[in-house]
A = this chain, B = another copy of it.
Amino acid sequence: MDLIKTLEPRSIAVIGASRNPNKVGSAILKNLILGFRGQIYPINNQTDELQSLKAYKSVLNVKDNIDIAVISVPAESVLKVLKECERKKIGLAIIVSAGFSEVGGEGAKMEKEIRSFLNKAKIRVVGPNCLGIINTDPPFNATFIDPSSKVLKGAAGFISQSGAILSAVVDDASVNNIGFSKIFSIGNAIDLDEADIMDALKNDEKTKIMAIYLEGLKDAKKFMKSVTEFSKNKPILALKGGKFDSTASAVASHTGSLAGNYKVYELAFNKAGVISVNNIDDLFNLMRDTPTLKIESKEIIIITNAGGGGVVTADHINQAGLELAQFDQKTTSDLKSALPPEANIHNPVDIVGDATPDRYKDTLNILTKLKKPIIVIFSPQEMSMPIETAKEIYEAHLRNPAIPILSVFLGGTRVERARRYLLEKGMPIYSYPNEAVDVIKGVYTYYSHKEPTFRLYESKKYKIRKANISKNLFGMPAKKIFEAMDFSTAAGAIIEKKKDVLKAAVKIGYPCVLKVSSDNIPHKSRVGGVIPAIMNQDQLVKAVGLMDANMASEGVKKYRYELYEDANKFGEAPLEILLGAHRDPQFGPMTGLGLGGVYANDINETEFVLSPISDKDISNLRESKIGKILSKAVEPAIFNEIIDYVLKLSHFMDANPQVKDVDLNPLLVFKNRVIAVDFKIFV
């Protein structure tokens, strides 16, 4: 099915159209009558006429072709009417009826039956449990949102997993002058989901930008493929609801607990160039203005007639991780001759309280030459002329259509008309500085991720076989797996019997560390299972005694001993780094490098990369905080070795899907060597 074509129907049936004006089917019919120019067929088996249209008992009674059916009958009748639609060769059914998997039990069973029918059917489905679909060109509104909500025609496609968010956004959008191309409420998405819709809208000329509200994903890989493709040509805005999962159960691995629920979405959005949006007002501003803006520089210019306005805007720019543009000498001297002596000719450029529209114009003429994003602040002061200033800003835009010029008109009644003027001209206009900065940040995020250098990282082909791991491995058994992958590890041995410990120490040397060996104890040090800094034979004997006592008091009966060289013998105090991996059930392996040891729990300073790893991921990792610390603390070869470990670990996760989490915590990092001393694999 060609969804774009299907969304230009000549005829739509409303199955379950109702005489009761409070019923969903009645609202859908009303919305269609208000805007749809094709044939409408109300389907109702109790009446012959609805809202002045001839009604039919079934779609099968309609002689002409039907392109789309909107189904709003009770859940238990949906399958029956869907079969009739299939027989009638209808291309798309929008099931708005609720009462399926979202209520569980019988509803879930019915949803499953519909799914299995759809497996063999040609008809495609949106929903169930959704609000419906809107197209603005050619127009039809096949939803039950209140007919008083105006839907403007525009450039934004919108997909929402929440019907309530959708109806609120649509109602609010017209007030904010935001238009839509197509709107989808996808509900339980038993057939067409976000990815399918984006795949279709990728080539829709009327959709210049896509906005998505999502709370979860059923098929993250499909989603990633789809958004990656889409965002190559057009921006995607995503508002993720449910960033914090309070119901998430305690996680055994350090890495897993650091990965969190939302982290993986951040990584995924970032990887695919999706603009992650934090709140609904940013979503509005970005929906409206992203299609007209191309922002490839993060160096921002501020022009203001109010010192305080410039100061506040500069703060927001800094907080957002953007920068103030620096001016060359030509620019400052041009500004100097154009502006009065009390003006500030450095960024933020303060053209002073008595700034006339002409002064704005002159300043814009000088600064647009720098080809950087410009924020123009206007504060209503005694001599200010809001409308005339707005006109000059618009004229400057017409002379320099490629330069992003965003306006902030502070104030209320005195600037309302000027704001409205710029809004109607399609200019980015805001009431507060932070709004302009958030938009720049979002659009810049998109364009800075479209770099042509983005490609999958060509790593050495590590010989990583599928390992034979069927249970949690802690300590020595896990160590062997990493040694096979050429990880540098502390020398060590696993020892069955107490009397053999001293023998092992001869080979390993002093100082050494005694650890308990058991796959049932993930956190050895919590049970007295780690005794470090054993300097000689005497101390080792005592350590074994102490270990036995600790295990006895913990009730641990079956265990062996592990003996390792103590890395402190290398003299310098090492950095304790965490290297680990976590498998997200949806998005797959994410591999992390961060502060380790005692810091891991309380300071979440871990940089994750999501498989498959790209060049960009690696350079981000190198430039992250943890990357900077390592690059300064160790020799380049060691830094490269650690980066290599990240790649190896991510490949290991790819090759061994039964592994859920890996902790190498701490990885001891010295100036000229790196040593893994603790090993945990969770399945």
Binding site for B on A (CB under 8 A): 22, 24, 27, 103, 144-146, 148-150, 160-165, 167-168, 171-176, 213, 215, 239, 241-244, 246, 278-281, 305-309, 311-312, 314-316, 318-319, 324, 342, 353, 379-383, 410-416, 431-434, 511, 532-533, 535, 566, 568, 570-576, 595, 597-599, 601-603, 605, 625-626, 628-629, 632-633
Contact = CB atoms under 8 A, between A and B. Distances in A.
Q: Which of A242, A412, A433 has the most CB of B within 10 A?
A: A412
A660 to B, nearest CB: 25
Main secondary structure of the interface of A (DSSP, over half): mixed
Contacts of A305: 164
Closest 8 pairs between A and B when the two form their complex, measured CB to CB:
A533-B571, A164-B306, A162-B308, A168-B410, A165-B308, A175-B412, A171-B411, A241-B311
B280 A172 contact: no
A381 B167 contact: yes
Contact of A433 (B172, B279, B382): B279
Given A165-B309, A167-B381, A175-B416, 12 more contacts: A27-B382, A165-B306, A168-B379, A171-B412, A171-B415, A172-B412, A174-B412, A243-B319, A532-B572, A595-B599, A602-B625, A602-B629
Copies of this protein chain in the complex: 2
Contact of A379 (B161, B164, B315, B575): B164
Given A165-B308, A312-B280, A598-B632, A532 B571 contact: yes
A306 B382 contact: no
A295 to B, nearest CB: 21
Contact of A380 (B24, B167, B566, B628): B167
A411 B603 contact: no
A566 B570 CA distance: 13
A409 B307 CA distance: 35
A633 B176 CA distance: 54
A415 B410 CA distance: 25
A575 B595 contact: no
A117 to B, nearest CB: 25
Q: Which of A382, A433, A570, A572 has the most CB of B within 10 A?
A: A382
B312 A172 contact: no
10 contacts: A162-B306, A162-B309, A164-B308, A172-B411, A281-B432, A533-B570, A568-B572, A573-B597, A598-B629, A602-B628
Contacts of A629: 598-599, 601-603
A468 to B, nearest CB: 34
Given A171-B414, A633-B598, A146 B382 contact: yes
A566 to B, nearest CB: 8
Contacts of A148: 413-414
A129 to B, nearest CB: 11
A374 B570 CA distance: 58
Q: Which of A168, A379, A381, A597 has the most CB of B within 10 A?
A: A168
Given A144-B382, A215-B311, A599-B595, A316 B279 contact: yes
A124 to B, nearest CB: 25
A374 B312 CA distance: 32
Given A315-B244, A380-B167, A413-B174, A308 B602 contact: no
Contact of A146 (B144, B164, B380): B380
Contact of A315 (B243, B314, B411, B605): B243
Contacts of A168: 306, 309, 379-380, 410-411
A682 to B, nearest CB: 23
A242 B171 CA distance: 37
Contacts of A315: 241-244
A603 B577 CA distance: 14
Given A164-B379, A381-B164, A412-B175, A573 B571 contact: no
B244 A314 contact: yes
Contacts of A595: 599, 603
